[in-house]
Amino acid sequence: MEIAKIQEKVRREEYEISLHAEKERYAEGITISNLETAIYNGEVLENYPNDLRGPSSLILGYAQNRPIHIICGYTPTNWIRIITAYIPKLPKWINEKTRVRGGGKDA
């Protein structure tokens, strides 16, 4: 997935947030505005072309001086689906760009 295409879809409000992402963002204190800001200044860290849910990407962006990870893919109607969003931290992330060894995807 290309970040520019994801950003354009979000700018046009052609995205949805999964129930899982809603729960995770709420637990982490991430607002919808934070999600959008993080996507606008984000970069694709990892691509998951063979994900069982369909091809998806891990985006790293920042909002309110916090790193935010957002995993997203496309819906059947070509909108962006935000699958999950969280603040990267130990025990699975050393920092926002570095996984702990064996941390695995969706960590």
> Taken in order 74, 79, 81, 87, is the CA torsion positive or negative?
positive
Instruction: Give the per-residue pLDDT at 104.
Output: 60
Residue 93: both structure tokens together: 């992330």
Whether residue 106 is contained in a domain is answered as no
CA angle, 3 then 7 then 83, to 5°: 80
Q: Say how many domains are in the chain.
A: 1
Whether residue 100 is contained in a domain is answered as no
Instruction: Give the per-residue pLDDT at 105.
Output: 57
The residues, any chain, with a CB within 8 Å of residue 60's CB and separated by 6 or more, are 38, 42, 43, 45, 67, 68, 69, 88, 96, 97
Query: How many whole angstroms separate alpha carbon 34 and alpha carbon 37?
Result: 5
Whether residue 102 is contained in a domain is answered as no
Whether residue 48 is contained in a domain is answered as yes
| Domain boundaries, position 65 | 3-93
In the block, tokens 């309110």 appear at 64
Which residues, given as ranges, of the chain have pLDDT below 50?
A: 107
Instruction: Give the per-residue pLDDT at 53.
Output: 78
Instruction: Give the per-residue pLDDT at 1.
Output: 87
Instruction: Give the per-residue pLDDT at 107.
Output: 46
